Amino acid sequence: MFKKTLKYLWPYRFPFLIALAQVFIISGCELLKPWPLKVIIDNVLGGKPAPWGLESVFSPANLLILAVVGLVIIYIVLGAITLLNNYTTIKIGQKMVNDMRGDLYAHLQRLSLAFHNRRKVGDLLYRVTADTYAIQSLTMNGVFPIVSSLVLLAGMFFVMIKIDWRLTVLSLTVCPVLLVSITVMSRRITAAAMFARQQESEVYSVVQRAMKAWMMRMADIARCTTE
């Protein structure tokens, strides 16, 4: 599956790299979000000396304004990059879906009549329309969220270790429980999704047969009326 996906992703490797760079910027903004609040709580309200010698330059009131402005800027940059990243990834996914649908349709045209007699037309239609769309879901909801989560997790781990390594180790004790829970739920979700797709394929087949029968009946009525 990875090799097949990579085949359709390769023509769009440069937009893909741009999207990955955007993911790193988004993760960096997420890591910066707590710092203005830390300055407000520790330095403005708590009275601790401001970092980097800022207490000699800014008063507590000015430091508060600086932290608030910094937080607003972080959210604006984060929202803009997230929007741009969604546009980039959706565009890549749509082009990959279009390429895959074209190849699949051309492949179906080359298959024998015996194959098409054995298969349901509705099932083939579902595979061309719905199954190929899954590659966009793989790009949007698979690759980029995983990369973003890994980068964010690594950054958060580094920051937490710097602040308090004991609390970091304690917080990581829930990871095995979460991993087991996610594994169990993923198996159930995969089975349910497979069953749902099979049922949707059957719906396509039923609708196709019904429409075909209706059209044949209308043709017979028109022929009888003409005669």
- The residues, any chain, with a CB within 8 Å of residue 127's CB and separated by 6 or more, are 104, 201
- The residues, any chain, with a CB within 8 Å of residue 6's CB and separated by 6 or more, are none
- Is pLDDT above 90 for 165? no
- pLDDT at position 155 is 83
- Is pLDDT above 80 for 13? yes
* Contact predicate 44/60, CB 8 Å: yes
Q: Which residue has the tokens 């403005």?
A: 44
Q: Which residue has the tokens 């972080």?
A: 74
- pLDDT at position 78 is 92
- pLDDT at position 174 is 82
- pLDDT at position 208 is 67
- pLDDT at position 83 is 93
CA distance 151 to 74: 18
CA distance 151 to 148: 5
Q: Which CATH number describes the domain made up of 2-163?
A: 1.20.1560.10
- pLDDT at position 139 is 67
- Is pLDDT above 90 for 80? yes
First to last CA, the chain: 56
* Contact predicate 15/91, CB 8 Å: yes
- Is pLDDT above 90 for 75? yes
- Helix, strand, coil percentages in the chain from 3-state DSSP, rounded to 5: 90, 0, 10
Q: ∠ CA(107), CA(110), CA(122), 5° rounding?
A: 65
Q: So where are the chain's domains? A: 2-163, 172-227
Span 217-226, mean pLDDT?
Answer: 70
- pLDDT at position 81 is 93
CA distance 158 to 163: 9
**What is the rounded average pLDDT for all residues in the chain?**
79
How much of the chain, in percent, has pLDDT values that exceed 90? 7
CA distance 149 to 45: 32
